[in-house]
Amino acid sequence: MTLPCITAARRFDADAHRPFRIGAEQVGWIRASDVPLLARWPDVFETDGGHVTLASAFDTVDLRSAALGSVIGALAAEGRIPGWRDETYAIRNAFDAPPLAYIERAASRFFGTQTYAVHLNGVVEYADRAPQLWIARRSDTKATDPGMLDNVVAGGIGWGFGIEATIIKECWEEAGIPEHIAARAVAGRTAHVLQSLPEGTQAEQIFIYDLTLPADFAPRNQDGEVGEHQLARIDEVARWIEEGALTVDASLATLDCLLRRRWIDEDACAGIEALFAPPAFA
């Protein structure tokens, strides 16, 4: 049986989308049904030929960012781009590539641009019993996946932040984990998601980390984005993944941890290896 998170992570129909390009480089996927919205700005987008291309007149990062920003603001005002974050994301197909433009985080899924995130598995190991994992429940007010189960720490990487800096920042904000503990996080693998969502396309690269937490430590949310934390047995977490109670991203990050530590059988995760290779244009 293929787990629902593995199927969902690549549930994407390219025929229902149009490539979004800056110059000759594809940088995103726009739903075909959304292309007419962009045709209202013929000075900003070229929408002929089966793809959407930012006009060549915008030939610097600043010009591209300004042009996209005006369109994004108008679409958000019309409710076409929900969940405004006041966070800046860079359009770039590789994490270490120079940005082609900057956009509001909420717009990344409308344009289907590549985004980056960290997910951290909070592991508690004991001398006399089986290990457990700290699991968070997302706040009911979150713009995406409200109320669903999640990793103890998970967050998007905004422009200007590196992976380690994001881990330290998110560890404190989401779980009250101090920097001297957060700095001990150990890298796992990197998962790649390309899935269609109500707000557009999630094309995301997820940097997965494990962090061993002291047995006497209890996470405490600081920013209101987490409803609660619970310490769970491995079999409980595996069941939540099977039931789809964890977000897709958190399920993949947790499965990577469980597989690397040989806490579950590889046969239970048919197809997951494909998710550690980039899809599409990424």
pLDDT value of residue 82: 92
Q: What number of other Cβ atoms are within 10 A of residue 117's Cβ?
A: 21
**Beta partners for 45?**
54
pLDDT value of residue 278: 87
Q: Do residues 89 and 113 make contact, with C-beta atoms less than 8 angstroms apart?
A: yes
Strand 17-22, strand 52-54: pairing: parallel
DSSP conformational letter for 60: S
DSSP conformational letter for 143: S
CA 53/CA 103 separation, integer angstroms = 16
Phi, psi of 28 (to 5 degrees): -175, 180
Domain at 14-113, CATH from 3.30.465.10, 3.30.750.160, 3.30.420.40, 3.40.50.720? 3.30.750.160
* Two domains, one topology: 14-113 and 115-276: no
pLDDT value of residue 138: 93
Residues with Cβ within 8 Å of 260's Cβ and at least 6 positions away in sequence, in order, are 188, 189, 210
pLDDT value of residue 1: 59
Domain at 115-276, CATH from 3.40.50.2300, 3.90.79.10, 3.40.50.880, 2.160.10.10? 3.90.79.10
The sign of the CA dihedral 246, 160, 88, 110 is negative
pLDDT value of residue 280: 58
User: Domain residues of the chain, as ranges?
Assistant: 14-113, 115-276
Instruction: Provide DSSP, 226-257.
Output: EEEEEEEEHHHHHHHHHHT-B-HHHHHHHHHH
Q: What number of other Cβ atoms are within 10 A of residue 147's Cβ?
A: 12
Q: Do residues 208 and 119 make contact, with C-beta atoms less than 8 angstroms apart?
A: yes
Helix (H, G, I), strand (E, B) or coil at 28: strand
pLDDT in 10s for each residue of the chain, 282 residues? 589 999 999 999 999 999 999 999 999 999 999 999 999 999 999 998 899 999 999 999 999 999 999 999 999 999 999 989 999 999 999 999 999 999 999 999 999 999 999 999 999 999 999 999 999 999 888 878 899 999 999 999 999 999 999 999 999 999 999 999 999 999 999 999 999 999 999 999 999 999 999 999 999 999 888 989 999 999 999 999 999 999 999 999 999 999 999 999 888 888 899 999 888 565
